[in-house]
Amino acid sequence: EWNVAPKTKMAEPGRRSPLTINREEIASTYSSFFLESTVMAEYSQILQHRVPGVYVLPSESSPLIWYGLLCIHGGVYQGAIFKFTLLIPANYPDGGCPEFDFQAGVYHPLVDYGTGELDTKKEFQRWRRDINHIHHLLSYARKIFYSIDTMNAVNEDAAKLYKTDIEKYKEKVEESIEACRQATLNPDPSDPHSVKIGEWTMDVMKSARTHIFEPEFMQDSMGKNAQTCGLSWVKPGTYQPFSREDS
């Protein structure tokens, strides 16, 4: 038997051996790539774990800034449309919970009325990188408008009013909803990805509806392998179900 020492590949002149590079140096050199990959993975998870009524889009200027829209379809805040901005820490996911800022003027016990900042400590006392994800934060932001929590409130006036005079609270909420709805029509001009909702234009909607129901469009949307025949209980020329007589 021969005792031969394993050969060690010599580093090229002027180039350090990978064995001499420590973890801190790797993190420092490639941190931006790790961060971008992590943020992209978070956005992919949002597409997989969709939160009803929540829409988000990363900023054009930075992947750490996301613009969003929250639509409430029930409860005291029914009909509300709130814009928000999500600020992700530069060392995410180790930098704690992202900052969630609604537009100013949202009347809620857990939202600062002046700044719009949501109290995330209520749900995420400590952000755990392997357990907590941004879609959890979006779900929490939605949940607070369906289940009102007044304990340890940020807006103490709103919490007190909710417990003592619910009708007055609803009036305040309606005022807030209307003001915030008007604000959605004014996007941030500095970023084209800022969320904007256009005013209802009947002429545009009528044109789109006409186009959708054109025979050529419907034929194309069905596809080559789609079923093109079958029973229908809708009378031709109408949209009322069960209007066609059985023959």
In this predicted model, what pLDDT tens digit does every residue of 161-175 receive, in sequence order?
A: 999 999 999 999 999
From CA 148, how far away is CA 76, in angstroms rounded? Answer: 9
Residues 6+ apart with CB under 8 A from 195: 55, 57, 67, 68, 69, 83, 184, 187
Structure confidence by residue, pLDDT tens digits, 139-153: 999 999 999 999 999
Q: Do residues 234 and 244 make contact, with C-beta atoms less than 8 angstroms apart?
A: yes
In three-state secondary structure terms, 215 is helix
Structure confidence by residue, pLDDT tens digits, 97-137: 999 999 889 999 999 999 999 999 989 989 998 899 999 99
Structure confidence by residue, pLDDT tens digits, 171-190: 999 999 998 888 777 767 77
Q: Do residues 66 and 83 make contact, with C-beta atoms less than 8 angstroms apart?
A: no
